[in-house]
């Protein structure tokens, strides 16, 4: 049922209910009054009839007594005079009462043709009678106002008078019952007229009430369809008029809000495009993550945020940048890498482990940043396929988390979608940086041994020489070459030779300090830079490396133990060369000297021209005993 129908029905119920109840009450009252009036008329008629018949009986008794007291000779004449005067219908002087008469003194209760009263005079009985005929009953009816008949069954509007002293006749009195049909007709007409008026008024009220609501509903449909210029006409300054005015104001504000939102969305898209271009063109991870985090905070209205990257080697999340954190997480930027979380436990660890976003109010891990609400999404690498493995799909690189929206609201699905967008950009940026770093590392390292390659050797040697020259320090350069390595390849195969090179590089790394740097120059020739090391220190390192190679053969799977030795040339900047290339050449010349000395030994380079001689006599414990430096070439 429509609202108009419900309003009409409600109005009619409100109007017709009391109207019908009142009509029923009036009808019942009319019927009761009619019955009461009929009863009153019957009471009056009965009293009148009893009084009239009683008076007639007394009149007859007086007439009989009058005849009885006169002499016998005059009785007939007196009787005729009394009849003539109308005191009785008939007066008889006889010994008994007529058989069909009703004695006023002793009624029988049966219908009779007359009523009589008697008197005695000796043995003579005088009877005065009054005929009970139509005229008699008509006179009684005229006096009482009721129809009178003998006996019979009393109807609802009739009453029976039983015979008794002073009223010897059994009579039935009937009065004319008042007919309220006219009143009922008038009442029905009033009800119908009121009902018709109520229907008309109800339809008018329903129409005048629901029409503005219909206009409002139509306008709401248009607004829902996108027409924000729709307005509702204000017809009357009542509640519906205020509702229409409020709707129009809401529509205007909604239009302004949508315009502002559209402009903000376009602006955000522009920022995202710029951000994407920035992220794609830079390789500074910390700066990228800082830009992403601050942009995410501005876009979602969050109070604080945190970016953590995964350390696969240790299975931990490492904090890289943070804004607005409190408690134990409020540390300087330089201290952030010390803040670590395990993968798995807590909100952030669970996001990193499952690769699924989480949000809401709720408990976070005890070691995580305190907050009321949070939203955290995984930072994933772009979807790609590794041609060397069967792994396909994005890998989790870290977690981007925001905390506590300004205003106290919770983060919603729109915030989650926005944060996923930023996390996607961060994943691309971090992946690009790592790919760039890996490519750069591969361009500077030897894939077989994992040591730096010749390209990085040139750059590192130049840098270390400049540093040593600036601060007046020394730099030792060692050139190492495996002895008879060609025979290893020819005897055991190139695979075994590669294994020997890898193990040799591992032993070099073990024998060096953290500041020392090892390189593979090419083939079986290697270079080691020893910052802040003089000739004596270089000789000690050379002896230690030679012993590490000589004393333990290399175990090659399927080939057994392979014994190898190494020859080493040692040169020191600036003693043996004034620049990077000269000191490297000096070390290479010393290597040739070691080769010519029988291999499995080291030699110190000759002093460069113009450099004071250093009083140092290198003594190397090798298979050939102490050997002086020699300037000779040959492998």
Q: Is the pLDDT of residue 233 over 70?
A: yes
What sign results for the dihedral spanned by CA atoms 308, 309, 311, 315?
Answer: positive
Contact 627, 620 (CB under 8 A): yes
The pLDDT score that the predictor gives to residue 153 is: 59
What value does the mean pLDDT of the chain take? Answer: 80
Q: 566 Cβ partners below 8 Å, 6+ apart?
A: 480, 481, 482, 483, 504, 545, 546, 549, 550, 600
The pLDDT score that the predictor gives to residue 545 is: 94
Contact 406, 302 (CB under 8 A): yes
- Per-residue pLDDT, averaged over 47-73, amounts to 86
Domains of the chain: 3-174 (no CATH), 282-443 (3.30.450.40), 445-604 (3.30.70.270)
- Per-residue pLDDT, averaged over 589-612, amounts to 84
Q: Is the pLDDT of residue 499 over 50?
A: yes
The pLDDT score that the predictor gives to residue 526 is: 95
The pLDDT score that the predictor gives to residue 501 is: 93
Most confident of 60-64, 270-274, 473-477: 473-477
Cα 155 to Cα 173: distance, rounded to the nearest angstrom: 10
Compare 399 and 436 and report the one with higher pLDDT.
399
Q: Give the phi and the psi of residue 143 in degrees, each rounded to 5.
A: -75, -40
The pLDDT score that the predictor gives to residue 535 is: 93
- pTM, two decimals, is 0.44
The pLDDT score that the predictor gives to residue 479 is: 95
Least confident range of 169-173, 177-181, 401-405, 429-433: 177-181
- Per-residue pLDDT, averaged over 242-257, amounts to 82
Cα 168 to Cα 57: distance, rounded to the nearest angstrom: 9
- Confidence class for position 519, pLDDT limits 50, 70, 90: very high
- Confidence class for position 530, pLDDT limits 50, 70, 90: very high
Least confident range of 88-92, 363-367, 474-478, 611-615: 611-615
Can you read off the two tokens belonging to residue 97? Answer: 């009462």
SS3 304: strand
The pLDDT score that the predictor gives to residue 323 is: 86
- Confidence class for position 115, pLDDT limits 50, 70, 90: confident
Q: Is the pLDDT of residue 328 over 80?
A: no
Q: Is the pLDDT of residue 94 over 80?
A: no
Rounding to the nearest 10 degrees, give the CA dihedral for residues 404, 407, 413, 419.
-50
The pLDDT score that the predictor gives to residue 474 is: 94
Compare 160 and 397 and report the one with higher pLDDT.
397
Q: Is the pLDDT of residue 477 over 60?
A: yes
Q: Is the pLDDT of residue 405 over 90?
A: no
- Per-residue pLDDT, averaged over 363-376, amounts to 81
The pLDDT score that the predictor gives to residue 178 is: 66
Contact 565, 552 (CB under 8 A): no
- Confidence class for position 341, pLDDT limits 50, 70, 90: confident
The pLDDT score that the predictor gives to residue 571 is: 95
Q: Is the pLDDT of residue 302 over 80?
A: yes
pLDDT digits (tens, 9 = 90+) for 152-202: 555 667 777 777 777 787 888 787 766 667 777 877 888 788 878 878 887
Compare 26 and 470 and report the one with higher pLDDT.
470
Q: Is the pLDDT of residue 632 over 50?
A: no
Which residues are tagged catalytic?
Answer: 524
Ordered alpha helix ranges (H), 225-284 = 239-281
The pLDDT score that the predictor gives to residue 613 is: 46
Q: Is the pLDDT of residue 390 over 70?
A: no
Compare 448 and 367 and report the one with higher pLDDT.
448
Residues forming beta bridges with residue 480, ordered by sequence position: 526, 568
Q: What is the DSSP letter of 610?
A: T
In percent, how much of the chain has pLDDT > 70?
Answer: 86
The pLDDT score that the predictor gives to residue 270 is: 67
- Which candidate, 418, 433, 421, 415, places its Cα nearest to that of 320? 433
């Amino acid at each position: 049922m429509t609202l108009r129908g419900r309003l009409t029905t409600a109005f009619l119920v409100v109007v017709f209910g009391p109207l019908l109840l009142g009509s029923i009450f009036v009808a019942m009252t009319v019927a009761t009054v009619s019955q009461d009036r009929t009863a009153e008329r019957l009471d009056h008629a009965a009293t009148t009839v009893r009084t009239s018949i009683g008076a007639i009986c007394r009149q007859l008794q007086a007439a009989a007594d009058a005849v009885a007291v006169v002499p016998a000779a005059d009785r007939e004449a007196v009787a005729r005079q009394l009849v003539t005067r109308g005191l009785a219908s008939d007066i008889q002087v006889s010994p008994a009462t007529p058989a069909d008469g009703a004695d006023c003194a002793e009624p029988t209760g049966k219908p009779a043709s007359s009523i009589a009263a008697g008197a005695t005079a000796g043995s003579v009985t005088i009877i005065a009678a009054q005929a009970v005929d139509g005229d008699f009953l008509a006179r009684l009816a005229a006096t009482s106002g009721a129809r009178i008949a003998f006996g019979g069954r009393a109807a609802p509007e009739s009453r029976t008078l039983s015979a008794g002293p002073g009223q010897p006749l059994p009579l039935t009195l009937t009065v004319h019952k008042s007919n309220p049909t006219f009143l009922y007709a008038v009442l029905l007409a009033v009800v119908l007229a009121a009902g018709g008026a109520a229907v008309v008024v109800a339809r008018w009220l329903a129409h005048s009430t629901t029409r503005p609501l219909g206009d409002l509903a139509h306008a709401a449909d248009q607004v829902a369809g996108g027409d924000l210029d729709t307005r509702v006409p204000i017809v009357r300054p009542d509640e519906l008029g205020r509702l229409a005015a409020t709707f129009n104001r809401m529509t205007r504000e909604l239009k302004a809000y949508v315009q502002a939102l559209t402009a903000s969305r376009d602006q955000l898209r522009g920022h995202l495009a710029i951000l994407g271009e920035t992220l794609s063109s830079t390789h500074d991870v910390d700066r990228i993550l800082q830009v992403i985090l601050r942009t995410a905070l501005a876009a979602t209205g969050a109070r604080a945020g945190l970016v953590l990257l995964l350390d696969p080697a240790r299975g931990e999340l490492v904090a890289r940048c943070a804004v607005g954190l409190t408690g134990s997480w409020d540390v300087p930027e330089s201290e952030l890498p010390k803040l670590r979380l395990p993968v798995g436990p807590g909100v952030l660890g669970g996001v990193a482990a499952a690769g699924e976003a989480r949000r809401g109010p709720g408990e976070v891990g005890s070691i995580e940043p305190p907050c009321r609400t949070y939203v955290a999404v995984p930072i994933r690498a772009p979807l790609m396929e590794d041609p060397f493995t069967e792994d396909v799909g994005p890998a989790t690189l870290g977690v981007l988390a925001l905390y506590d929206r300004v205003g106290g609201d919770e983060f919603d699905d729109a915030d989650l979608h926005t944060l996923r967008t930023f996390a996607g950009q961060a994943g691309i940026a971090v992946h690009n940086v790592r790919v760039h770093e890996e490519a750069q590392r591969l361009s500077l390292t030897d894939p077989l041994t994992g040591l730096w390659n010749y390209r990085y050797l040139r750059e590192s040697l130049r840098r270390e020489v400049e540093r040593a020259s600036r601060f007046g320090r020394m730099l030792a350069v060692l050139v190492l070459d495996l002895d008879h390595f060609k025979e290893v390849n020819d005897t055991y195969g190139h695979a075994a030779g590669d294994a020997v090179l890898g193990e040799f590089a591992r032993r070099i790394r073990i024998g060096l300090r953290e500041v020392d740097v090892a390189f593979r120059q090419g083939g079986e020739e290697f270079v080691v830079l020893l910052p802040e090391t003089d000739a004596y220190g270089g000789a000690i390192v050379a002896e230690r490396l030679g012993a590490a190679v000589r004393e333990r053969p290399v175990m090659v799977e399927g080939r057994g133990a392979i014994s190898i030795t190494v020859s080493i040339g040692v040169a020191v900047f600036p003693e043996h060369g004034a620049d990077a290339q000269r000191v490297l050449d000096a070390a290479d010349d010393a290597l040739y000297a070691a080769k010519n000395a029988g291999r499995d030994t080291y030699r110190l380079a000759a002093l460069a021209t113009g450099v004071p001689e250093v009083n140092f006599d290198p003594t190397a414990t090798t298979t050939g005993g102490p050997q002086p430096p020699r300037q000779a070439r040959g492998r």
